[in-house]
């Protein structure tokens, strides 16, 4: 009869060899970390993880994030051996395995549930899309924050609904990336004792040994962050791993870092180039040597010995099913005693909005002075957040400027108890950590909260990696960016965004909203709150914008369609189209009125969201931007890149192809030509140019017709 130690080794080596075979068959991938870290993850999953393979969406499950996503073959092997069941995109149980043996055999191939790096929403059991190093550990901080907030908000005496832990496996690359430092610093400040990072310290990156670039004392660094640090000197020593995980579970005042010493490519002692073991398949000969080292039949591929899957079911599966069943009973009793709170949890888990969420939305009267869209957004945000208890967030040290602080009485500040706040607070302070902020917001979104993060628009360059993952994971997180253009003035070119709008519009899955006045801001928030499967970037002004008279101009309700006719010729047959977003819409309205006084028929089109506009029917798009009207002027205080889509190749785009200028706002506008007179001149030139072309075409057509008649 096989003893426990032998069974452990058999399971660990099954994880290793499945990973090796998947990578070798694909001729692509990273076998080193799965070989070295297999005991680390096996011990965690089998001995400690509170996780039900039958329901990967159980709200109180422990989270495991593979931050070093290049080790994905190891995670897929775990999901397969653990019998994790798949769920469909609406999180309904479907019952088939999340990962089959055939999926492993088709690792990194089209259609397989085992892509090159873990993808949230594609492979059930993957808690977050990882691959860009450092992102996973930063998102795990958001997940740990979510647990603390959920527990503080919804737990009641005798009802510990939320008490899960968050584990993240990371490597040397994650430790080098700056985002991990940002996230670890904040996690230490917040005393997130439910967070455990497991650092697979294998001393190798793609270019070679870490000694060529990375010689810092990681333990000392994390002690400085306020973390508990414990060491495991041999990844193959399960007893040491058990003690390390128990140390984490017994630590209640700070996060824990477990440093696990491993050897990359462990089991392939003949391979001299360990960096190749990290970044490429082993090759047939090294595969045989590794399997022989594990006492494995070198002639087998994708072999799962009898008893291995049963052992996972006996430990992980049985423990998870029991804990989940007990939680379901607890929640049923909780629902009877606290029906309103239970209803909130249900809505949150389904990403649904509570009834009456928009009942307090303000309306703004016409006002020539108006207000900055960051100001009106702050008012709308507070009105919505009072009605949606799980809408929460903050800024990267800029909430007074971005107007994202929740000011109603019960909002509170999210801090560790004793730090002028509590874990149930809804105002987050991310510090000057834009990149970590966006990744943490992703972690909150993965936990089904409705989070927002905020900064100046220019600083999105610091957090692009996390923003891209928001879109890739289809998370309905909200980004609020203020100081949106050169009109912020004196701070100058370093703070004036130019190319950012174009780059965000180029990002698949990201909705960009740049509203023109306070009432467009209201409608933008209506759009935002109804989105369930995409991130939204709300781009706002520092300077005041006139609140347009909606009795005179079209209603702002059309924001939901991305673009609409704001002002038109009386007969609906304009000679020229004026297209703009944000603050430049009012500029076009002023130009429209001047053209109108000159007897020139113009149409003003407000285009707050290209993405929403492109999702409309062709009929609607043509009704807003008639293809037959070639005279067009597009106006935006940003890069001109992309506007030819709407202005046409012969249209005029008043934008920027240089960086900005440090000067008062009016001086900047004059310098770059963002004035009504300039728009009027461009419109008149467009009309004249296309009228001349039209006459030329008519003349050519008549001449051609006469010649044809002569020939006949």
The model's pLDDT over 380-429, given as tens digits with 9 standing for 90+, comes to: 999 999 999 999 999 999 999 999 999 999 999 999 998 888 999 999 99
pLDDT at 708: 37
- Please check whether residues 445 and 482 belong to one and the same domain: yes
- When divided into structural domains, the chain yields a total of 3
- Please check whether residues 141 and 273 belong to one and the same domain: yes
- The position carrying tokens 């998870």 is 320
Strand partners, 511: 536
Residue 536 counted as domain residue: yes
Confidence tier at 658 by pLDDT (50, 70, 90): very high
Q: What angle do CA 53, 57, 59 make, to 5 degrees?
A: 115
The CATH number given to whatever domain includes residue 176 is 3.40.50.970
Residue 28 counted as domain residue: yes
Summarize pLDDT for 544-589 with one digit per residue, the tens: 999 999 999 999 999 999 999 999 999 999 999 999 999 999 999 9
Catalytic residue numbers, as ranges: 434
Residue 556 counted as domain residue: no
**Among 277-286, 420-429, 593-602, whose mean pLDDT is lowest?**
277-286
- Please check whether residues 223 and 166 belong to one and the same domain: yes
Summary count for the chain: helices (H), strands (E)? 26, 22
The length of the chain is 712
Query: Of 524, 547, 570, which residue constitutes the final position of a domain?
Result: 547
- Please check whether residues 512 and 598 belong to one and the same domain: no
Q: State the Cα–Cα distance between residues 459 and 497, nearest whole angstrom.
A: 9
CB 576 within 8 A of CB 632: yes
Confidence tier at 700 by pLDDT (50, 70, 90): low
**In Å, how far are 99, 327, 369 from 92, measured between CA atoms?**
17, 19, 51
Can you give the pTM of this predicted structure? 0.95
Average pLDDT over residues 603-619: 98
pLDDT at 289: 95
**Among 283-287, 589-593, 692-696, whose mean pLDDT is lowest?**
692-696
Question: Which bin fits 582, alpha (ψ -120 to 50), beta or left (φ > 0)?
Answer: left
- Please check whether residues 252 and 307 belong to one and the same domain: yes
- Please check whether residues 218 and 295 belong to one and the same domain: yes
Interacting residues of 124 by C-beta distance below 8 A, sequence separation 6+: 56, 79, 84, 85, 86, 87, 98
Residue 705 counted as domain residue: no
Query: Of 298, 326, 354, which residue constitutes the final position of a domain?
Result: 326
DSSP 608: S
- Please check whether residues 414 and 386 belong to one and the same domain: yes
Rounded to 10 deg, the angle between the 518-530 and 373-387 helix axes is 40
Residue 654 counted as domain residue: yes
More confident residue, 712 or 182: 182
Question: Where would I find the H helices in 190-237?
Answer: 218-225
- Please check whether residues 108 and 132 belong to one and the same domain: yes
- Please check whether residues 190 and 281 belong to one and the same domain: yes
Helix, strand, or coil (residue 254): coil
Domain that holds residue 400: 367-547
Query: Of 519, 547, 575, which residue constitutes the final position of a domain?
Result: 547
Helix, strand, or coil (residue 240): helix
CB 506 within 8 A of CB 450: no
CB 334 within 8 A of CB 357: no
Confidence tier at 622 by pLDDT (50, 70, 90): very high
Strand partners, 256: 196, 228
Confidence tier at 203 by pLDDT (50, 70, 90): confident
Summarize pLDDT for 100-123 with one digit per residue, the tens: 999 999 999 999 999 999 999 999
Residue 596 counted as domain residue: yes
Residue 346 counted as domain residue: no
Q: Per-residue pLDDT for 92 more than 90?
A: no
| Strands 632-639, 208-209: pairing kind | unpaired
**Among 53-62, 271-280, 421-430, whose mean pLDDT is lowest?**
271-280
Interacting residues of 165 by C-beta distance below 8 A, sequence separation 6+: 50, 62, 63, 147, 194, 195, 196, 248, 249
CB 67 within 8 A of CB 296: no
The CATH number given to whatever domain includes residue 643 is 3.40.50.920
| Strands 204-205, 208-209: pairing kind | antiparallel
**Mean pLDDT for the chain overall:** 94
Measured from the Cβ of residue 108, the count of other Cβ atoms closer than 10 Å reads: 18
Helix, strand, or coil (residue 203): coil
- Please check whether residues 244 and 392 belong to one and the same domain: no
Average pLDDT over residues 344-362: 97
Rounded to 10 deg, the angle between the 434-446 and 464-472 helix axes is 20
- Please check whether residues 104 and 178 belong to one and the same domain: yes
- Please check whether residues 222 and 194 belong to one and the same domain: yes
Confidence tier at 706 by pLDDT (50, 70, 90): very low
Residue 199 counted as domain residue: yes
Retrieve residue 683's tokens: 């419109």
């Amino acid at each position: 009869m096989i003893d426990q130690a032998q069974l452990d080794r058999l399971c660990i080596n099954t994880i290793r060899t499945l990973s090796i075979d998947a990578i070798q068959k694909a001729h692509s991938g990273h076998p080193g970390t799965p070989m070295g870290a297999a005991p680390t993850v096996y011990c965690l999953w089998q001995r400690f993880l509170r996780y039900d393979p039958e329901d990967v969406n159980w709200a109180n499950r422990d989270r495991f994030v593979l931050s070093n996503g290049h080790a994905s073959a190891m995670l897929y092997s775990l999901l397969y051996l653990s019998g994790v069941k798949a769920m469909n995109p609406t999180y309904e149980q479907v019952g088939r395995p999340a990962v089959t043996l055939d999926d492993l055999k088709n690792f990194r191939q089209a259609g397989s549930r085992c892509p090159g790096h873990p993808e949230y929403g594609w492979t059930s059991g993957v808690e977050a899309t990882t691959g860009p190093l450092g992102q996973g550990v930063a998102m795990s901080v958001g997940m740990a924050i979510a647990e603390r907030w959920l527990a503080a908000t919804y737990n009641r005496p005798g009802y510990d609904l939320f008490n899960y832990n968050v584990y993240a496996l990371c490597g040397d690359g994650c430790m080098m990336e700056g985002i991990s430092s940002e996230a670890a610093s904040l996690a230490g400040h917040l005393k997130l004792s439910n967070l455990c990072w497991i650092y697979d310290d294998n001393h190798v990156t793609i270019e070679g040994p870490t000694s060529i670039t990375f010689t810092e004392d990681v333990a000392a660094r994390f002690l400085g962050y306020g973390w508990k640090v414990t060491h495991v000197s041999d990844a193959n020593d399960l007893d040491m791993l058990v003690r390390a995980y128990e140390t984490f579970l017994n630590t209640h005042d700070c996060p824990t870092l477990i440093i696990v010493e491993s050897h990359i490519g462990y089991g392939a002692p003949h391979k001299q180039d360990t960096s190749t073991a990290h970044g490429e398949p082993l090759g047939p000969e090294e595969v045989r040597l590794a399997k022989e080292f594990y006492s494995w039949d070198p002639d087998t591929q994708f072999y799962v010995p009898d008893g291995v899957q049963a052992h996972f079911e006996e430990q992980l599966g049985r423990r998870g099913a029991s804990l989940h069943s007990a939680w379901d009973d607890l929640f049923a009793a909780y629902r009877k005693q606290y029906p309103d709170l239970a209803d909130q949890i249900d809505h949150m888990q389904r990403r649904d909005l509570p009834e009456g969420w928009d009942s307090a939305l303000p309306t703004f009267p016409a006002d020539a002075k108006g207000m900055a869209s960051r100001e009106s957004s702050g008012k709308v945000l507070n009105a919505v957040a009072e009605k949606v208890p799980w809408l929460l967030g903050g800024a990267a040290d800029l909430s007074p400027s971005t107007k994202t602080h929740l000011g109603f009485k019960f909002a509170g500040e999210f801090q560790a108890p004793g730090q002028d706040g509590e874990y149930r607070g809804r105002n987050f302070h991310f510090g000057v950590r834009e990149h970590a902020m966006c990744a943490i917001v992703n972690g909150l979104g993965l936990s089904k909260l409705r989070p927002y993060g905020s900064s100046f628009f220019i600083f999105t360059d610091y957090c692009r990696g996390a923003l891209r993952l928001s879109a890739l994971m289809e998370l309905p997180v909200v980004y609020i960016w203020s100081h949106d253009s050169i009109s912020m003035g004196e701070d100058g070119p370093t703070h004036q965004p130019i190319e950012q709008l174009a780059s965000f519009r180029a990002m698949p899955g990201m909705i960009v909203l740049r509203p023109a006045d306070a009432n467009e801001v209201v409608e933008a928030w209506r759009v935002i709150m109804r989105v369930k499967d995409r991130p939204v970037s709300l781009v706002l002004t520092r300077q005041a914008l006139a609140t347009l008279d909606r009795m005179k101009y079209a209603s702002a309700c059309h924001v939901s369609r991305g673009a609409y006719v704001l002002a038109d010729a009386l007969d609906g047959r304009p000679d020229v189209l004026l297209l703009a977003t944000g603050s430049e819409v009012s500029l076009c309205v002023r130009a429209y009125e001047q053209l109108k006084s000159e007897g020139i028929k113009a149409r003003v089109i407000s285009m707050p969201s290209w993405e929403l506009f492109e999702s409309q029917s062709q009929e609607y798009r043509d009704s807003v931007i008639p293809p037959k009207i070639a005279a067009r002027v597009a106006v935006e205080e940003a890069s001109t890149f992309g506007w030819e889509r709407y202005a046409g190749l012969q249209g005029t785009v008043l934008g920027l192809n240089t960086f900005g200028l440090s000067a008062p706002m009016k001086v900047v506008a004059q310098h770059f030509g963002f004035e009504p007179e300039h728009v009027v001149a461009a419109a008149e030139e467009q009309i004249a140019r296309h009228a001349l072309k039209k006459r030329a075409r008519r003349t050519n057509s008549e001449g051609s017709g006469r010649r044809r008649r002569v020939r006949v």
